[in-house]
Amino acid sequence: MFEFFKGTGRPSAIESVESTLVGMLRDGSEVYETASDALFGGGKSKATKREVRSADQEINRAQREVRRELMLHAAVTEAIDIPAILRYMSVVKDAERVGDYAKNIYDLVRYGADFENAPDRDHLEAYRMAVGDLILQAAAVFESLDTRRAAELVAKADGFLDEHDAEVKAAFKSEAEVADAVARALYFRFLKRITAHVMNTLTALVMPVDQLDYYDEAREDRR
**Residue-wise pLDDT tens digits, 125-184:** 999 999 999 999 999 999 999 999 999 999 999 999 999 999 999 999 988 899 999 999
Distance CA 16, CA 18 (A): 5
Mean pLDDT of 101-124: 95
Name all domains of the chain by residue range, CATH numbers in brackets.
12-217 (1.20.58.220)
pLDDT band of residue 39 (cuts 50, 70, 90) is: very high
Whether pLDDT at 186 is above 60: yes
Note the pLDDT of residue 9. Answer: 47
pLDDT tens digits for range 53-79: 888 889 999 999 888 888 887 777 666
Position 136 scores a pLDDT of 97
Whether the Cβ atoms of residue 48 and residue 34 lie closer than 8 Å to each other: yes
Within 10 A of 116 (CB to CB), how many other CB atoms are there?
11
**Res. 85 pLDDT band, cuts 50 70 90:** confident
> What is the CA angle 197-219-173, rounded to 5?
90
Structure confidence at residue 56 (pLDDT): 85
Residue 12 confidence (pLDDT): 63
Residues 16/69, Cβ–Cβ less than 8 Å: yes
In sequence order, what are the residues at sequence separation of 6 or more whose Cβ sits closer than 8 angstroms to the Cβ of residue 121?
40, 115
What pLDDT was estimated at residue 1? 41
CA distance 187 to 193: 10
Spatial separation of the C-alpha atoms in residues 137 and 131, rounded to whole Å = 10
